[in-house]
Amino acid sequence: MGSTITIGYAGMTHLGINYAVAGAGKGFKIIGYDPKPELALELAAGKLPVVEPGLDEALQQRAQLMQFTANVNDLAACDIVYVAPDVATNDNGQSDLTYINELIAKVIPALNPHALLIILAQVPPGFTRKINFAAHRLYYQVETLIFGQALHRAECPERYIVGCANPDMPLDSRLNTYLQAFNCPILPMRYESAELAKIAINCCLVAAVSVANSLGELCENIGADWNEIVPALRLDKRIGEYAYLQTGLGLSGGNLERDLATVVNLAAEYGTDKAVIQSFRDNSSHRRNWPLNKLFDSILLHNPKAKIALWGLTYKENTHSLKNSPAIKLVRDLAGYTIHAFDPVVKALGNIGNVQFYDSAMAALDSADVLVIMTPWSEFKLADLGQIAQRMRNKVIIDPFKVFSAEQVKALNFEYITTGK
Amino acid sequence: MLKHLNATAMQPARVVILGAGGFVGSTAAHNLRAKGIKTLEVTRDQVDLQHADAASKLTALLQAGDVLLIAAAIAPCKNGEQLLANIQMQHAICEAIKSKNADLTQVVYISSDAVYADDVALANEDSKMQPSSFHGMMHAARELMLKGVCGAVPLAILRPSVLYGFNDPHNGYGPNRFFRLANEEKNITLFGGGEELRDHIYVNDVAEIIAQTMLHRSHGALNVATGQSHSFKEIADKVVKLMAADVVVEATPRQNAITHRHFDITACRQAFPEFRYTTLDAGLALVQKEYVAQQVTV
């Protein structure tokens, strides 16, 4: 390991930080730039604005190779500069490209005349080719950030998808050297194909999730158990062992929703069929209502004053992100109720709903009539069911992500409601 | 879905009810009066909405602060002639709304789930409006007409599913007809085996949702359905049992493909979390009691 190539990351976001730390892990000198001076200072002090397994330790261990700055001119020392901002989405999942355009406009004048510029963000097809920059030094690279696994995936990517002005020309040797350090296939293709490849990957994931949720809901009504079906699917080579087949509460996090919105908008613009993709969005909306309806059906219909305990607020475990979180939707839907909540990371919600926070998961349970587990944090899996039973007034657990095993819970005479069965 | 302008319930100054002599209108009027809400109950005798002077008569009736409940229609709308008549009625109402736009505090329109496509097996408020009947077309058109004239006046559109209740003047296929036949000791004939699943809503529940919509000064669209669908066969059997009628529930050769309709009632739970729908068993029992009371009275 070790290299004379210097890599810059512009935008110290969840994505940018994890990719930067991963690059340092391969021995490259890294310059992390963000226009916010306070963020650059915090990162230089080893304080992270995001939660990811292993990230704190990796940042500490690789600090000597990493420099954080709010001075864009420091990027002049870089051979390659990745632009890796968060691209915000609105309520319809549409991207707001204002910030990434501003960041690119700041970065380009600061680059040295030979540096490569690489767009590492979810942008709509056609975005990269429109950038006013020398085409032979401009690339687009698909990011494969998964919240909760971000560092691992940045360090051990399955493949690199690289958008180029002309895929028939060899990749710049510096980029080739950097990417080969991660020891995975490199797939060059034209810009538009690479931009759409990212969307295609997410559409395939959504298709699998939507199948799981649609058939899981059917299982809930006909006495089947989706968990019994899943192993049969995983053994089918056309589906695969890593397919997204867990039942859940629709799409959340924002990135999948963004890509569906992009496809629907492009389909409308170019007159192609959008019905399948639109149905994924509709199914997600439908599925997000599952917790509220199960709460009503199991307890609120006959006990409108029920005390509701809620574990987990983030959209998934091992993250601080609340983007499109089903838990937040539930809290909003239950605005007329006091929610007694605990989350390992989130300790306040501002004006959202009517939430009373507790210091521990168990403390939130006292005299509760129902426990709803909205994020499958690993610590919840270790909770003592006997203690839960003692603390609660009525023993009803709504557990969409199967934090507990149905058999264990039912053995303690809980009414147990989960997805897919 | 509905959004509330009143975070807590507040009584409207007055509710003007068009179609106050009808099934929904009369039940809604009774419920509003029971809550102490002032009503002006307008029937065809007072304002014939098909008459040329309907708009001016209606305009004269409306006062500042009024809520307008539109439950007037020739229903079910079965042909082009009735469709035109219904549109004409709505046109008169819309002209009055335009004239009194600054005075009205809310408009509530009683539409129908017939605005949705027949094959929408699970309907919610976002389901595509794709009516396949004159009745659905009529309500869809009337909804659009209201949206065109209400402007800043909050417009709530309520779309009930299949209604039932003792006073239903219609003899449509379902609980009402089954009760009449059972009461007259006549056999109940099903379409096919009566397999179709539908969400049947007790008319008093519709009246209560109307009241809640007014108390919260809500706007938007809401389906009014229980979230539980039952087959016509199941309902016919329940009615026969309740009425202790010595009649047969007969199947007939099926003429049409079976279609089902369910409702996702999340939006109603979000809008009115404390409201509870009458279950089918409870609703049918209430209708049966009315039949018994009627016999005692007679």
Nearest Cα to Cα of residue B27 among B280, B237, B151, B201: B201
Query: How many contacts does A have with B, using Cβ atoms within 8 A?
Result: 24
Q: Is the pLDDT of residue A264 over 70?
A: yes
What is the pLDDT at residue A324?
Answer: 83
B170 phi, psi to nearest 5 deg? -85, 160
Calculate how close chain A gets to B270, using CA atoms only, in Å. Answer: 6
Of residues A289, A300, A304, nearest to B264 (C-beta) = A289
Mean per-residue pLDDT, A272-277: 95
Identify the structural domains of chain B with CATH numbers, from first to last: 2-165+200-227+265-277 (3.40.50.720)
What is the pLDDT at residue A24?
Answer: 97
Nearest residue on chain B to A290, judged by CA atoms?
B266
A306: which 2 tokens? Answer: 């029920």
3-state secondary structure of A148: coil
CB contact under 8 A, B276 and A293: no
CB contact under 8 A, A282 and B274: no
Query: What DSSP letter does each residue of A326-391 carry, written as one string?
Result: HHHHHHHHTTTS-EEEE-SS----TTSS-EEE-SSTTGGGTT-SEEEE-S--HHHHT--HHHHHHH
Note the pLDDT tens digit of each residue in A309-325.
999 999 988 888 888 89
Mean per-residue pLDDT, B57-71: 97
Mean per-residue pLDDT, B88-92: 97
Q: For A290-417, CATH number?
A: 3.40.50.720
Compare A360 and B121 and report the one with higher pLDDT. Answer: A360
CB contact under 8 A, A304 and B122: no
Query: What DSSP letter does each residue of A375-396 carry, written as one string?
Result: S--HHHHT--HHHHHHH-SS-E
Mean pLDDT, all residues of chain A: 94
pLDDT confidence band for B118 (50 / 70 / 90): confident
Note the pLDDT tens digit of each residue in B231-241.
999 999 999 99
Q: Is the pLDDT of residue A87 over 90?
A: no
CB contact under 8 A, B266 and A292: yes
B120: which 2 tokens? Answer: 């929408």
What is the pLDDT at residue B26?
Answer: 97
Q: Which residues pair with A371 in a beta bridge?
A: A309, A397
Note the pLDDT tens digit of each residue in A366-379.
999 999 999 999 99
CB contacts of B269 in chain A (<8 Å) are 292-293, 296, 333
What is the pLDDT at residue B168?
Answer: 87
CB contact under 8 A, B273 and A334: yes
Please state which of the ranges A18-27, A215-224, A315-324, B142-151 shows the lowest mean pLDDT.
A315-324
CB contact under 8 A, A286 and B274: no
Conformational region of residue A395, where left means phi above 0, alpha means psi within -120 to 50, and beta covers everything else: beta
What is the pLDDT at residue B241?
Answer: 96
CB contacts of B264 in chain A (<8 Å) are 286, 289
By the CB < 8 Å criterion, does A293 face chain B?
yes
pLDDT confidence band for A86 (50 / 70 / 90): confident
Calculate how close chain B gets to A289, using CA atoms only, in Å. Answer: 7
Q: Which of A213, A214, A249, A286 to mutate to test binding with chain B, by most B CBs within 10 Å of its CB?
A: A286
Note the pLDDT tens digit of each residue in B239-274.
999 999 999 999 999 988 899 999 999 999 999 998
What is the pLDDT at residue B297?
Answer: 60
Hey, where are the domains in chain A? 6-189, 199-287, 290-417
Q: Looking at domain A199-287, does it have CATH number 3.40.50.720?
A: yes
What is the pLDDT at residue B231?
Answer: 97
> Tokens 């890593």 — which residue?
A242
Calculate how close chain B gets to A351, using CA atoms only, in Å. Answer: 15
Calculate how close chain B gets to A282, using CA atoms only, in Å. Answer: 9
Calculate how close chain B gets to A304, using CA atoms only, in Å. Answer: 7
> Tokens 């492009």 — which residue?
A266
Q: Residue B255, exposed/middle/buried by CB under 10 A (0-12, 13-18, 19+)? A: exposed
CB contacts of A286 in chain B (<8 Å) are 122, 124, 264
Mean per-residue pLDDT, B112-121: 92
CB contacts of A300 in chain B (<8 Å) are 273
Q: Is the pLDDT of residue B169 over 90?
A: no
Q: Which of B266, B272, B274 to mutate to test binding with chain A, by most A CBs within 10 Å of its CB?
A: B266
Q: Which amino acid is at A376?
A: P
Nearest residue on chain B to A301, judged by CA atoms?
B276
Does A199-287 match A290-417 in CATH topology?
A: yes
Q: For A6-189, CATH number?
A: 3.40.50.720
By the CB < 8 Å criterion, does A289 face chain B?
yes
